[in-house]
Structure 1
Amino acid sequence: MSNYNFFCPTRVLFGQGSLNEFHKQPMPGKKALLVISNGQSTIKNGSLERVKKELAAANCEYVLFNEVAANPLKSTVEKGAQVARQENCDFVVALGGGSVMDAAKVMAMFIPQPSDDLWDYAGGKTGKLKPLDKEPLPWIAITTSAGTGSEVDTAGVITNPDTNEKIGVGGPDSLFAKFAIVDPELMKTVPPKFTAYQGFDALFHSLEGYISCVHNPMSDLVQRTAIENIGKYLPRAVKDGNDMEAREAVAFANTLSGYSMITSACTSEHSMEHAMSAYHPELPHGAGLIMIAKEYFTFWINKHLCDDRFIDMARFLGKQEANDPMDFIDALVKLEEDCGVSDLKMSDYGIKEDECMTMAVNARETMGGLFMADPAKTTHEEIAEIYRRAYK
């Protein structure tokens, strides 16, 4: 495929110290809903205080909302929207990792709508997928981790525990952030384990996109650069969080992997992990992806549908002598080992082997769109078998 449709109007301020440029940007409103996680990281590392000062310097008020969990819930988005409506906020600022940006983005979409039920505007198995009644509020992304690329796309992954759905909500062009700040200095305090999980999440966006049936010259360009940077620099960032060259390279790869989702698409691996953490919300998204990656990509290698692309990806990850698709698996496993995440187990998060078919069905029913980007069609049985082979 050579055709592509690329549109990403978000201005990205990238690099060390770029948070200092926040107040110099045109503000899209006068009063922000400032969204952070329910943890302490932005308080302890000082980034929250810095953003408050930047908002003050930009002559903007704010209301703090600090209830976003690692896998943001439908009810949390609805509560944040209610706060914004009551406080007459006219834009949203996200300060945090992918979960915070996803939640804030969907809040920005939901705040102006007349409904109190987010699932009126969601898809999946049970959402009504109604058209938006009003345009979303503008929002600003300040990312403190390198994992999702959510600062440059238009959907947020939200969990509805009542229906065991973890799905992307949003999508209109009006949900692109007005501007995004990607400052690697804000990522220095991310613990090694989560640096690895987040980095692999970004990696899989690009690996999946590179073998997808919707790949194209533009996506190839983005994905190759992202894969190369993560392969070279993620182990260094995991080993030493203060290695700013490594932090910057991984942050760059993360934003590129956001562009990967705009220029092509993730494949069913992401649907499969969303099913895992829909039933087990304590499972970090990146960790779940790592757990199934080896067997997932081996499944496609055995189909021999894109052998050359797997050889490409092995070389992108540093295995320059690669000449066999399975060399990619060797390179991927080595990267996992170098980052200390090669021994993750589903069972450690309460996942049972007899859930494999349940998760396979859930993955397709709730995020079936990503299966359409796969190199070929699959069955429930094939997806369940990938889970079984990955299980430990």
Structure 2
Amino acid sequence: MSADYAATLANVCARATDEVDIHKVTEMRYGSICYLGVGAINKFDDICKAMVAEEKTRVGIITGSSSYRSNGVWAVVEPTLRKYNIQFVLYSGATPNPTDTEADQAVAAFRALNPNWILAIGGGSPIDLGKAVAILLCYPEHNAQDLMTFKFTPNHALTLNTINTTHGTGTEVDRFSVVSVTALHTKPCLAYDFSYPKYSIDDPRICASLSRFQTACVTVDALAHVTEGSTTSCAGPLSIALGQQVGRLISKYLPRVLADGHNLEARYHLLYASALAGMSFDSGMLHYTHAMEHVLSGMKPEIYHGFGLGMIMPAVFHACWPAKGVVLASILGHIIPGLTGAPAEADHMYVELEKWLVSVGIDKKLDGFGFREEDFPEYLRLLRTTVPLPTLLSLAPVEATDEVVHQIYTRSLHFHSIQN
């Protein structure tokens, strides 16, 4: 195959995905059934019908404070629940970087109803919280801190269904749940096979209410998922192939959404990219970026997860470039044209990626949130002792020595290649 024809074929393959009918609701099946497309919210009727058929007529609902109303989701959910005589209790206390306190509050709010399924409405925070609460309701003798510090090992949970309202975490199609433990200033992660949602909804019209800042943060999260999921020691062809598609979609459609938040075609493709990214790291797992960011936002919960990832991402990729430059180039090359993965490109990649991140709104480094180099030993201690962060570090493509970790945090402390 000639180089010219290979380039032409790659362009045709890209167009084949880009030209799908975004108004046709389709199913993605990967651990769960996810409905994708404009109007997918109307599939909630089918979900309720399926729950009633299983004699599950009491639901605990987890959301954030207000977006579930402003984005139009509640206008569909509430009448549908009443149509099927499904009793419900609403907990609307989920916050960014949800905590064990919130999980315990939700469990307490639901106890009188004794729900037999959970509905999470929102982005990663309500859905991750929903996964934890779905477990805790089956184990009344334990609280959320017990769960998140692995003081017991659950083996089942209530059925969880989700209505996803962002395009970053992929949690609507994966098994992961991240809930901070307030007293310990840690941000552990669960991963149980019974935590896949049964049904999920990805409707780009819902995401149109995201602010420019939220849009950037969640999309950077998706980029981190695939760059890590494609470069761990257990990455395989599936996680890498998904990562390459996600890099292309983000490069093409994030600028369009930032220019026009109501561009439903662009929102559709970013939702699809986010789901693919969730599948990628569900297979390939994660390493430095997420492990090191969990320490940061565990200590300072006001940091948006995606923003925290963006602050340290260039330094992580720089450290990993000697081992995984070709794979990273196949993903980041859509954002930074011309990358081949050659060792000499590491500095160029760092500079250009930092510029791109600032262009989409990730415009601070660690010093902008008060982090200091003299505190790095404490960050390292948390990395080594917070389950499952040591496991993530063990999967990194470059050995996670204290020196490498310190170097990544140091590089991420200030802007080096550009001025803020």
Q: What TM-score, normalized to structure 2?
A: 0.85
Q: Structure 2: which 5+ runs fail to align?
A: 1-28, 415-420
Distance in 1 (CA, whole Å) between partners of 2:349 and 2:283 is 23
Distance in 2 (CA, whole Å) between partners of 1:181 and 1:136 is 20
Partner-residue secondary structure (3-state), 1:113: coil
1:243 counterpart residue number: 263
Matched, 1:287 2:307: yes
Matched, 1:218 2:238: yes
1:196 is matched by which residue type in structure 2? A
Partner-residue secondary structure (3-state), 1:86: coil
1:216 is matched by which residue type in structure 2? G
Tell me the CA shift for residue 332 of structure 1.
Answer: 2.6
Distance in 2 (CA, whole Å) between partners of 1:333 and 1:233 is 19
Tell me the CA shift for residue 90 of structure 1.
Answer: 1.0
Q: Does the 8 Å contact 2:178/2:188 carry over to 1?
A: yes
Distance in 2 (CA, whole Å) between partners of 1:332 and 1:187 is 25
Distance in 1 (CA, whole Å) between partners of 2:39 and 2:115 is 27
1:142 counterpart residue number: 163
Q: 1:199 to 1:118 in 2, by over 3 A?
A: same
Q: 1:214 to 1:153 in 2, by over 3 A?
A: same
After TM superposition, the structure 1 = structure 2 runs for residues 62-73 of structure 1, keeping only pairs within 5 Å, are 62-73=88-99
Q: Does the 8 Å contact 1:157/1:166 carry over to 2?
A: yes
Cα RMSD, aligned residues only = 1.9
Distance in 2 (CA, whole Å) between partners of 1:8 and 1:85 is 31
Matched, 1:37 2:57: no
Tell me the CA shift for residue 310 of structure 1.
Answer: 2.7
Match of 1:378 among 383, 400, 404: 400
Q: Structure 1: which 5+ runs fail to align?
A: 1-6
Match of 1:308 among 326, 333, 341: 326
Q: How many residues are paired up?
A: 376
Distance in 1 (CA, whole Å) between partners of 2:361 and 2:99 is 29
Q: Does the 8 Å contact 1:228/1:318 carry over to 2?
A: no
Q: Does the 8 Å contact 1:357/1:380 carry over to 2?
A: no
Tell me the CA shift for residue 115 of structure 1.
Answer: 1.9
Tell me the CA shift for residue 78 of structure 1.
Answer: 1.3
Distance in 1 (CA, whole Å) between partners of 2:396 and 2:341 is 23
Match of 1:57 among 70, 73, 83: 83
Provide, for residues 211-236 of structure 1, a one-character-per-residue CA deviation record: whole Å limited to 9, x for no partner: 21111111122211112111211121
Distance in 2 (CA, whole Å) between partners of 1:73 and 1:60 is 28
Tell me the CA shift for residue 320 of structure 1.
Answer: 4.6
Partner-residue secondary structure (3-state), 1:364: helix
1:32 is matched by which residue type in structure 2? V
Partner-residue secondary structure (3-state), 1:12: strand
Partner-residue secondary structure (3-state), 1:32: strand
1:3 counterpart residue number: none
1:175 counterpart residue number: 195
- Bigger mean CA deviation after superposition, 193-202 or 58-67: 58-67
Provide, for residues 263-322 of structure 1, a one-character-per-residue CA deviation record: whole Å limited to 9, x for no partner: 111112101000001111111111111111111111122xx2123223322324361564
Tell me the CA shift for residue 388 of structure 1.
Answer: 1.4
Partner-residue secondary structure (3-state), 1:162: helix
